[in-house]
A = this chain, B = another copy of it.
Amino acid sequence: MARRRIGEFELIARYFAPLAKGFAGARGLESDNAFLAADPRHDLVVKTDTIVAGVHFLADETPELVAQRALRVCLSDLAAGGATPYVYQLSLSLTHGWTERWVAGFARGLGADQRRFGIVLCGGDTTGTPGPTTIAISAFGRVPRGKGLGRDGARAGDELWVSGTIGDAALGLLAARGTLKSATLERRYRQPQPRTTLGPRLLGVARATADISDGLLADAGHIAAASRLAVHIERDLVPLSADARRALTVKPALWANVLGGGDDYELAIAVPPRRRSALLTAARAAKVKVTQIGAFATGKGVVLNVSGQPSRIAQSGYVHF
């Protein structure tokens, strides 16, 4: 059944050029380049992330949710940097057998998130691949000059806080695979909610941040490593959703998933104790719950306390290969 496929230029004109409207620097995607106007008051924060069908998302996921995952994993990093998202570039490699219907859904997903997060497509490319559909997004955010946050910068004595609840996505992946039952958790896996309202409010409050994409222990460990410190985490303080708590009661072994699994896209935040109330004010304004779960200290590595028993653990998390 050889069906005529629309070409790259038609695809761009029909589905992607409309997403670049409202940003003059994209030049309607008719130029190969995007032009980002000089902005003396802001640094640009850039994050590239790649997702591959069957590896980073379920091969049968809806195109809307695939598009939103590709975007949101980048927006989550920008949020951790304290940046307000701005524009993005899209590299879309379509697997053999792609349909125009799939691309239309993908573009719809992008469009909905553009409105939700106030961002605009500014360029990129589309191509075919004999492999699985692969999407790389480079997202650009703005942060007041010199103020960007990173993993480094935490100091001994800083508290470790996290946003939202932890482990829902890892349990949600089990739900998506049918080995656990919870529509709430499944949605948390399928549709990440980057903390874009909280991130920029952490400027002047947090000393270091990371988004929790590789898993709580891994990402808290990344802050510790980049800041040349140890981090101590109290497992009993880790905030859990009602469904996650229920799953853990039935099967305590799922703690490994909760602490080691990825894809939460919450923020891990290092805050000096004297800025605790500023953090709470920021969180309230962002309408995001934050919880203190530990602290940074001199030393190295991640120490997990379970009911008062410390256990030094290897820095772990999602393994990309």
Bound form: Cα–Cα A319–B10 in Å: 12
Among residues 118 to 137 in chain A, which have CB atoms less than 8 Å away from a CB atom of chain B? 122-132, 134, 136
Q: How many residues of A contact B (CB 8 A)?
A: 72
Question: 0/1 per residue, A72-112, Cβ < 8 Å to B?
Answer: 00000110110100000111011100000000000000000
With beta carbons under 8 angstroms apart, the residue of B38, B125, B143, B320 that contacts A49 is B125
Inter-chain contacts of A273 with B (CB < 8 A): none
Residues B321 and A7 in contact, CB atoms below 8 Å apart: yes
Contact of A158 with B by CB under 8 A: no
Q: A31-B226, A48-B89 are in contact. List 10 more A-B contacts (CB 8 A).
A: A8-B320, A33-B47, A33-B80, A33-B141, A33-B148, A35-B43, A37-B145, A39-B40, A129-B131, A130-B132
- Neighbour of A89 across the interface among B36, B127, B138, B150, CB < 8 A: B138
Q: A55-B127, A132-B129, A320-B128 are in contact. Are A30 and B89 (CB under 8 A)?
A: no
Q: A210 to chain B: which residues have CB within 8 Å?
A: 32
Contact B48 A90 (CB under 8 A): yes
> How far does the alpha carbon of A152 sit from the alpha carbon of B52 in the complex, in Å?
35
A321 touches B81 (CB 8 A): no
Decide: A46 and B32 in contact? CB cutoff 8 A.
Answer: no
Chain A residues in contact with chain B, CB under 8 A?
A: 5, 7-8, 25, 27, 30-50, 52, 54-56, 77-78, 80-81, 83, 89-91, 93-95, 122-132, 134, 136, 138, 140-141, 143, 145-146, 148, 150-152, 210-211, 222, 225-226, 319-321
| Chain B hits for A5, CB < 8 A | 321
Nearest-Cβ distance from residue A206 to partner chain B, whole angstroms: 13
Partner of A48, one of B38, B52, B54, B91: B91
Contacts A5-B321, A123-B46, A320-B126; is A32 near B151 (CB within 8 Å)? yes
Q: Given B25, B127, B148, which contacts A320 in the complex, CB threshold below 8 Å?
A: B127
- Given A33-B77, A148-B33, A150-B33, answer yes or no on A46-B127 (Cβ-Cβ < 8 Å): no
19 contacts between A and B (CB under 8 A): A30-B225, A31-B150, A32-B80, A32-B210, A33-B47, A33-B81, A33-B141, A35-B44, A35-B143, A37-B145, A48-B90, A48-B136, A50-B125, A52-B93, A52-B131, A55-B127, A128-B320, A131-B132, A131-B134
Chain B min CB distance to A239 (Å): 22
On whether A32 and B128 interact (CB within 8 A), knowing A48-B138, A123-B46, the answer reads: no
CB of A34 within 8 A of CB of B55, answer no
From known contacts A36-B46, A46-B89, A136-B136, infer whether A128 and B55 are also in contact, taking CB-CB under 8 Å: yes
How near does chain B come to A45, taking the closest CB pair, in angstroms?
5
Cα A7 to Cα B77 in complex, Å, equals 21
